[in-house]
Amino acid sequence: MMRLRPLVLCVLLALAVAYYVYTPLPENIQEPWKLMVVSAGLRTSLHLASLIHWLGCDHYIRSIRQLSDSFPGLTNVGDSNESGGGVVPGVKVSDTTFAGVPVRVYEPPAGGEGHLRRGLMYFRGGDWFLGGVERPSNDALNHMISDELNTVVVSVEYRLPPDVHFPVPFVDCLTAAKHFLSPEVLAKYSIDPERVAVAGASLGGNLAAAVAQEISTDDSISVKFSIQALIYPMLQALDFNTPSYWQNQDVPLLYRPFVVSFWLQYLGADTSLQPQLLVNNHSSPHNSAITRELRARYDWTVLLPFKHKKNHKPVMTKKGSPGLLKEVPALLDVRASPLLAGTEVLAKCPRTYVITCENDVLRDDGLMYARRLQDTGVTVTNVHYEEGFHGCFSFTVWPLEFDVGRRAVRGYINWLQNNL
Options 68, 202, 284, 394, the catalytic residue: 202
The β-bridge partners of 101 are: 98
The model's pLDDT over 105-126, given as tens digits with 9 standing for 90+, comes to 999 986 555 589 999 999 998 6
Cα–Cα distance for residue pair 5/11, rounded to 1 Å: 10
What is the structure's pLDDT at 82? 35
What is the structure's pLDDT at 110? 61
The model's pLDDT over 227-272, given as tens digits with 9 standing for 90+, comes to 999 999 999 999 999 999 999 999 998 999 989 999 999 999 999 9
Q: State yes or no: is 312 an active-site residue.
A: no
Residue spans per domain, the chain: 82-236+333-419, 268-332
Nearest alpha carbon to residue 225 among 190, 202, 198: 198
Nearest alpha carbon to residue 101 among 163, 168, 152, 146: 168
What is the structure's pLDDT at 70? 57
Q: State yes or no: is 308 an active-site residue.
A: no
CATH class of 82-236+333-419: alpha beta
Options 139, 239, 360, 364, the catalytic residue: 360
DSSP code at position 350: P
Q: State yes or no: is 360 an active-site residue.
A: yes
What is the structure's pLDDT at 2? 57
Percent of the chain's residues with pLDDT above 70:
86
What is the structure's pLDDT at 379? 98
The model's pLDDT over 151-160, given as tens digits with 9 standing for 90+, comes to 999 999 999 8
Got the DSSP string for 43-80? HHHHHHHHHHHHTTSS-HHHHHHHHHHTSTTTTTTT-S
DSSP code at position 115: B
Q: What pTM did the predictor assign?
A: 0.92
**Per-residue confidence at 74, pLDDT binned at 50, 70, 90?**
very low
Options 179, 226, 390, 394, the catalytic residue: 390
